Structure 1
Amino acid sequence: MMSKTIRIGTRDSELALWQAHTVEKKLNDLGYKTQIIAVKSQGDIILDKPLYELGITGIFTKTLDIAMLNGDIDIAVHSMKDVPTALPTGIVQAAVLERATTLDILVHKGNLDFLEEKATIATGSLRRQAMWLNKYPNHNVVDLRGNVNTRMQKLTENEWSGAVFAAAGLERINLKPENYINLDWMIPAPAQGAMLVVAMANDEFSRQVLNELNDIDTEVCSHIERQFLKTLEGGCTAPIGALAVFIEDDILFKGVLFSIDGKQKIEIEKTIPMQEWKKLGFYCAKEILENGGAELMKSIKESLKK
């Protein structure tokens, strides 16, 4: 059985390929044969529309889902935060790799005076936009699309004061510049910094192999965060942040929902014993929905339709 070559599907951006090669190396070290198959995703091709306007969750994962359902690849590697909380029928979560940093960072031009003044900050994420405007209401936020390299390039070409990135992505491909600040006040996207490997439900071989790569702590924390997200949004894009971390035998969870303009903020923070993790994300989301979150989600859906 060791002789089966595992075909690893990935997007063709530098970061996606880095992630695929990381998984490949881990599998090769365990004695398995692999082959990397790179495909372009719609999310990489259509760069002139904001993500939420493209109207599908999973724009970056869809192409790989199709390749997998067609039998062209055996497994696929994703940034977990890009993956919709509901996987397509027949595809399952097979491994979550040990998490990198969850931090968001602001990459700037070397002078931070703009934080006190009017400024334009770039990000393609509704979550980052809302959190930024909540803290800096007099700033302007513009849409920024493309893979990490494209976004860094656009930052240098434009007059913007800065742009927000996930630290993990820039660190993985050595693009993190000297001019950055850690935005430790910004609650990350659910599962930020984690890599997910999916396989076909009926592919026993690949699933058993990938199980050897699974990091249980990251699996638990990302499950809580994604459950929180799923319970809140039901398939609609919204400014949602979530972070679960182990603190000795407890789990600390922080979750937040913002209005798109950042003016409204509903947050929750809970510490629970580790063994009660299974429904934590669900209960925290329910609490937010009861504290005005349901109305807020409704207005977010309405405003994104316009």
Structure 2
Amino acid sequence: MPDLTLTIGTRASLLARWQADHVQAHLEVAHPGLTVRQELISTQGDRVLDKPLSQIGGKGLFTKELERALLDGAIDLAVHSLKDLPTEMPDGLMLAAILPRADWQDAFIGPADLMAMPEGARIGTGSLRRAVQLRRLRPDIQILDLRGNVDTRLRKLDAGLYDAIILASAGLHRLGRADRIQTYLPFLPAAGQGAIAIQVRDGDDATAHLLQPLHDPVTATAVTAERAWLAAMDGGCQVPMGALAQMVDGRLVLRAFAADPDGDGYLEASETGLPADASAIGASLAQRLRDAGASAWIRPQAGRDPSVA
């Protein structure tokens, strides 16, 4: 291949750097001679740490600065945690690859599993989605906001600010912290949780072609259904939601929930169909949940920011 340099845009957190390093390593193996460098970019979600994500507002709290750099030509590709990427992308950008999904589960980190924690235990999470599902299992516990990167959150737990915390399993495994996991929770995850997405400029066929060896069609099909569901729900960032699509005996099974953030309302449903119909399955399940009452909880906000999920 002729001499070519690609610049990856990434956030500066340890987990984001791991993801960028992972993409870089796979590119260099797939394309010997390719030069890959990284550009560290700070996002609003990284800078504002004194309030819950759900109160910051806006879309793309962890992605829009990366997207701006991509549109400006400062970087050639942006690496994202797919769950942080809004369903509506800016004009001029596209997803070029979805990597194989890691563990999508939520992990409970504490001295005992959730059901064995004492009454009134202080559980840390920055996610409305997790908080709603926590309360359904343990209405007696205290749920406290938790911000920061993985190691910061673990240090806050170790300092006694919380009795236990909940984190994404994928991040703990990627950073070599899986030994901290007490148990896995039976929660529906955020749409796209555990998947890494690579974004490029529309029309940059050369970069998109270089990324094809990294693309996983099975993961792409699953997250297509989840993100189609998320987009069709059209919910504001204040509405707790979760979705998971999996292949079962050659069929695509999508499960999802939405909840009333101000009350006890909770709706969960599933839909099954052909993998080729992933987008339609997601849209159909969203319509069913909305018709069943979820629309009453939702304030329309196109391209809902899932980073609070």
Shorter-chain TM band: over 0.9
1:21 aligns with 2:21: yes
Pairing of 1:179-218 with structure 2 (within 5 A): 179-183=181-185, 185-218=186-219
Of 134, 154, 157 in structure 2, the residue corresponding to residue 155 of structure 1 is 157
Q: Aligned-pair distance for 1:235?
A: 4.8
- Identity in percent: 35
Q: Aligned-pair distance for 1:122?
A: 0.6
Matched AA of 1:284: L
Instruction: Report the secondary structure of 2:223's partner residue.
Output: helix
CA contact (8 A) 1:133 1:263 kept: no
Instruction: Report the secondary structure of 1:43's partner residue.
Output: helix
Of 80, 85, 88 in structure 1, the residue corresponding to residue 87 of structure 2 is 85
Matched AA of 2:182: Y
Q: Aligned-pair distance for 1:200?
A: 0.6
Of residues 82-91 and 275-284 in structure 1, the stretch that sits farther from structure 2 once superposed is: 275-284
Matched AA of 1:20: A
Instruction: Report the secondary structure of 1:37's partner residue.
Output: strand
Matched AA of 1:74: D
Give the match for residue 109 of structure 1.
111
Of 31, 52, 55 in structure 2, the residue corresponding to residue 53 of structure 1 is 55
After TM superposition, where is structure 1 displaced by more than 4 Å over at least 4 residues in a row? Answer: 110-114, 298-301
Q: Aligned-pair distance for 1:148?
A: 1.3
Which whole-Å CA distance do the structure 2 matches of 1:221 and 1:287 have between them? Answer: 19
Give the match for residue 174 of structure 1.
176
Q: Aligned-pair distance for 1:277?
A: 2.3
1:240 aligns with 2:241: yes
Matched AA of 2:285: C
1:145-203 CA distance string (max 9 Å, x none) = 111121111121234221111100010010223451110x2001101000000001121
CA contact (8 A) 1:133 1:261 kept: no
Which whole-Å CA distance do the structure 2 matches of 1:60 and 1:299 have between them? Answer: 21
Give the match for residue 254 of structure 1.
255
Q: Aligned-pair distance for 1:110?
A: 4.7
Matched AA of 2:101: R
1:278 aligns with 2:279: yes
Instruction: Report the secondary structure of 1:230's partner residue.
Output: helix
- Work out the number of aligned pairs and report it: 300
Which whole-Å CA distance do the structure 2 matches of 1:242 and 1:153 have between them? Answer: 30
Q: Could you list the runs of 5+ residues in structure 1 that have no partner in the other structure? A: 302-306
Give the match for residue 304 of structure 1.
none
Matched AA of 1:135: L
1:75 aligns with 2:77: yes
Q: Aligned-pair distance for 1:256?
A: 0.4
Of 125, 129, 137 in structure 1, the residue corresponding to residue 131 of structure 2 is 129
Of residues 153-162 and 14-23 in structure 1, the stretch that sits farther from structure 2 once superposed is: 153-162
Q: Quickly say closer, same or farther: Cα 1:256–1:2, change in 2 above 3 A.
A: farther
Q: Quickly say closer, same or farther: Cα 1:2–1:240, change in 2 above 3 A.
A: farther
CA contact (8 A) 1:11 1:39 kept: yes
CA contact (8 A) 1:10 1:64 kept: yes
1:50-105 CA distance string (max 9 Å, x none) = 11211112111111111112211100101100111111111110100000111101
Which whole-Å CA distance do the structure 1 matches of 2:267 and 2:245 have between them? Answer: 17
1:291 aligns with 2:300: no
CA contact (8 A) 2:19 2:196 kept: yes
Q: Could you list the runs of 5+ residues in structure 2 that have no partner in the other structure? A: 305-309
TM-score (norm 1): 0.92
Which whole-Å CA distance do the structure 1 matches of 2:26 and 2:100 have between them? Answer: 12
Task: Compute the RMSD of aligned alpha carbons.
Answer: 2.0
